[in-house]
Structure 1
Amino acid sequence: MSDTVIQVKNLSKKYIIGHQQQEHYTALRDVIAHGTKNLIKSFKNQNSNVNNYQEDFWALQDVSFEIKQGDRVGIIGRNGAGKSTLLKILSRITEPTKGRINIKGRVASLLEVGTGFHPELTGRENIFLNGAILGMSKVEIQRKFDEIVAFAEVEKFLDTPVKRYSSGMYVRLAFAVAAHLEPEILVVDEVLAVGDAQFQKKCLGKMEDVAENQGRTVLFVSHNMNALSTLCQSAILIEKGQIKYQGNVFDAIEKYLVSYSVDDSKEISQYRLNKNLKDIYFKSVEMISGNTQVLFKETIGFEISILAEKKIENISIGGTIFNSMGNPIGAFVSNVVAVEPKKITTIKLEIAKLNLSPGMYYMGFSIGEGNFMNTSRIDYDIIIGYPRFEILPFNEQENIGVWNPAWGNIVLNECLVETLAFIQ
């Protein structure tokens, strides 16, 4: 018997988008006249607005994949890529336009805050209501009731109508019901972002337990790459309604982040955090080699040009290296320099023998007054996400530098190993 629990073949979903062309300025007399014309046209069975037109929008196009029992699969992509549409189809909330889906087992979905809850009912009543919607018997719900309440941490408000719950309480109770009522497939959208950090950690642990120890399947949509890499073994990357990659979660995250951030344009303004610039700011940041691919343990350098509006005696440049998941993994700083007004100052920064494992990285830079380590330092300009570079292994034929992502990004110096004699 096959252990495939979700099989999707050539799935497509089309929506009809209505557009209405409007004038930039409309007076009251125009509204009255336009309404009168439309009323006359309706009596004549004519189109009520010739300026209206419709457009076909394919949220998903020819999507195919299979998921095995017990898999923890992340679904990632930009906003509007089609992730939520896919989950709604899998949860039978909406019907596909084309294609076929085979699902083996009961599906519990948590796609929006308070999905399946009635605002006028209490937390206690909604546990039974939501459980019934998920196909559970009253006996099953009663058996799991205490675990659900304890996990959601809403004992004090159990007999309060959920319309008075905060969004975080909504999520806690909704997730607790979905996770504890033993569905074969648990589908979770971005809603966990509403909860606090402690509850998110608890939810991730519960989903991991549901998959590993109970053999259930989890589909998890999130923009939190750390959460995805912690929970999921594999991932599906969706772009513009189509699957661009399916496989290892770390490879999927890297492809997503690279496709999301890489831009051939070298306009530094698109990476700038502070839009209200004054006094001093970055003009350009370039890699000295001009090449965005760097060999493992090779020296890496940056040429940074800054422009000041006034004379400042003690300027320094701080740099931060981020890995492909957006985590800062190292920092460095330039010497303190003086800058002259209305003149471009160029500073070169180099890191010798960069001990980073092969993979994609990107930079962040800041211009500040005073020492980089000083807590009172003032940052005038900050850019994050540029330039990006890739660390390559020494020799691809020897497969040097193929790291397991769990080992981390920093390759430490060689350690001294001393073998001691064994005493019989």
Structure 2
Amino acid sequence: MAVITAEGISKRYIIDHKRGKGSASIKDAVTEQLSKLFGGKGTPGSDHERIEHEDFWALRDVSFSIEQGDRIGIVGHNGAGKSTLLKILSRITEPTHGRISIRGRVASLLEVGTGFHPELTGRENIFLNGAILGMTRDEIKRQFDEIVAFGGIEKFLDTPVKRYSSGMYVRLGFAIAAHLDPEIMIIDEVLAVGDAEFQKKCLGKMRDVASNGRTILFVSHNMTAVSALCNRTLYFERGQLIEQGETNQVIASYLSKVSKTRMVREWATPDDAPGNNLVRVKKIEILPEFVDDQTYIDVRTPFRIRFEYWNLMDQANLNLSLHLNSMTGEVIFNVGTQSQSFGKGLISGECVVPGHFLNDGTYNVSMMIVKDTVTPLYNLEEGLIFDVADYRDGVAWYGKWPGYVRPQLKFHAEMMEENILND
């Protein structure tokens, strides 16, 4: 039986580019008045006025059906329309076009603090959220102790939630959503705020909820968590539903497309290429060494980072410096080639990154061309962005693996002496 049906869902937002009255500068105000006096660009019906409003379609003609007990993963880049869809399903916003049909009580956790009244205590917000879900006071009381224990907020139960940290907000919000017996549970990427132990608890609880025949919709960038939890997955891109089906197949398609679109940047001639009158970048490329039918980089995959650049000087001692950065700006490592004497022409460099070295995540490669080992000639700060997907074999825990590197080092344990505690 279908519990959620979406038929041709579209959502349009109107972006207003016009400054508000309070934000206009004196220059803007004078220009506007002169335009009105002399019939300039600010007159009604002018091109200037028409471009002040822009339509943005967050979703375009999305249709799908979800059966009772389905565990649905929703994947895609930021801005793909995932969160907009969840807001429509949660009745927070209405679609511009199309129709949504939902059978069952829905509990949503879309962002930190969703559904909380900041002036009320944790205790009061538990009862408030239960009432919003249509539960009686006795029903809420039966689950109350489990909610408090799962959220780990015993000491702060009678503290206004406006004083909670983001982690406490999420723990309480998830505990309420999971324990107040919803037929449909909607969880956004908000779980990433929690620590690894809490993520493990949440995934375990969602598996328990799903095993009781309830329906789950789960948005996450953690593909391992989606694979472990969800039997079906929806893949969104630029507001459109690109693919839906069995989870592993859809995730492989999604990651493959991500890799193919980000693996190389190339410029045809020095005139078009980034650089200066000394050096120009021709190409920066990721060359993975895939095994079998794999089509995307995961934590096991070795790959090469290859650079090509034009040297426009007659003779110079040059070396390449490679930075691998996290998306938050931390430098994961910095390596350089030896300095060599080069004349005019095309020069290449290549760095080999072994498998089982980087953790899953999104990384940015930057390159610097250096003269005489000390003088930077050109720095390509955002050379290439690529993703490393997670992979785990024989591990039952699917929380976020901490750190930027994830090497396989020799590390073992052994029994030194048996039964010493029984003596």
TM superposition score category, shorter chain reference: 0.5 to 0.7
User: What is residue 149 of structure 2 aligned with on the other side?
Assistant: 150
Contact 1:286–1:387 (Cα < 8 Å) also in 2: no
Partner of 2:246: 248
1:57-68 alignment runs, 5 A limit: 57-68=56-67
1:316-364, Cα deviation, whole Å (9 max, x unpaired)? 99x9xxxxxxxxxxxxxxxx9955245746669899xx9xxxxxxx999
Check if 1:198 corresponds to 2:197.
Answer: yes
> Aligned runs of 1:252-401 on 2, under 5 Å?
252-263=250-261, 266-267=264-265, 304=306, 339-342=339-342, 344=347
Q: Distance in 2 between matches of 1:286 and 1:46?
A: 50
C-alpha change, 1:347 and 1:239, in structure 2 (3 Å) is: closer
Deviation readout 1:248-285 (Å, 9 max, x if unpaired): 2122222222333423773279xxxxxxxxxxxx9867
Is the aligned partner of 1:128 residue 2:127? yes
* Aligned CA distance change for structure 1 residues 306 and 175 (closer, same or farther; 3 Å): same
Q: CA deviation at 1:82?
A: 1.2
The corresponding residue for 1:10 is: 8
Find the counterpart in structure 2 of residue 165 from structure 1.
Answer: 164
Structure 2: stretches of 5+ with no match in the other structure: 268-280, 295-301, 325-335, 356-361, 368-380, 396-423
Alpha-carbon separation, structure 2, partners of 1:63 and 1:235: 14
Q: Report SS of the residue matched to 2:201.
A: helix
Report how far residue 30 of structure 1 moved. Answer: 4.7
Partner secondary structure for residue 75 of structure 1: strand
Cα displacement (A) at 1:19: 2.5
In the TM superposition, residue 50 of structure 1 has moved relative to its aligned partner by 5.8
TM-score normalized by structure 2?
Answer: 0.64
The Cα shift of 1:97 comes to 2.0
Secondary structure (helix, strand or coil) at the match of 1:215 reads coil
Structural mapping, 1:29-40, within 5 Å? 30-32=28-30, 34=32
Asked whether the equivalents of residues 114 and 174 of structure 1 are also in contact (C-alpha less than 8 Å), the reply is yes
CA distance in structure 2 between the partners assigned to 1:365 and 1:30 by the alignment: 41
CA displacement 1:9-31 (0-9 Å, x = unmatched): 12222222223389xxx963552
Q: Decide which moves more: 28-37 or 186-195.
A: 28-37
Shift of 1:384: 7.3
Q: How many residues align?
A: 333
Does the C-alpha gap of structure 1 residues 61 and 342 become closer, same or farther in structure 2, counting only changes over 3 Å? Answer: same
Bigger mean CA deviation after superposition, 244-253 or 256-265: 256-265
For residue 20 of structure 1, give the secondary structure of its aligned residue in structure 2. Answer: coil
Q: What's the counterpart of residue 56 of structure 1?
A: 55
Report the secondary structure of 2:113's partner residue. Answer: coil
Residues 232 and 244, structure 2, Cα contact 8 Å, conserved in 1: yes
Pairing partner for 1:216 from 214, 217, 228: 214
Q: Is the CA contact 2:3–2:104 (under 8 Å) kept in the aligned structure 1?
A: yes
- Closer, same or farther: CA 101–144 of 1 in aligned 2, 3 Å: same
Q: Quick one: distance in 2 between partners of 1:15 and 1:55?
A: 8
For residue 90 of structure 1, what is the aligned residue in structure 2? 89
User: Is 1:119 matched with 2:126?
Assistant: no
Amino acid at match of 2:58: A
After TM superposition, which residue ranges in structure 1, 4 or more long, deviate above 4 angstroms? 35-39, 45-50, 282-288, 291-297, 300-312, 336-339, 341-351, 362-367, 381-388, 405-408
**Aligned-partner Cα distance in 2 for 1:348–1:146:** 55
Q: 1:340 is aligned with what amino acid?
A: Q
Q: Does 1:239 align with 2:234?
A: no
In the alignment, the residues of structure 1 paired with residue 218 and residue 204 of structure 2 have an alpha-carbon distance, to the nearest angstrom, of: 13
SS in 1 for 2:66: strand
| Contact 2:14 2:56 (8 Å CA) reproduced | yes
In 2: Cα distance, 1:387 partner to 1:172 partner: 29
Indicate conservation of the 8 Å contact 1:38/1:48, yes or no: no
Distance 2:231 2:150 in 1: 25
What secondary structure is seen at the aligned counterpart in 1 of 2:17? strand
C-alpha contact (below 8 Å) 2:366/2:382 kept by paired residues = yes
Shift of residue 66, structure 1, vs aligned partner:
0.9
Distance 1:124 1:310, change over 3 A: farther
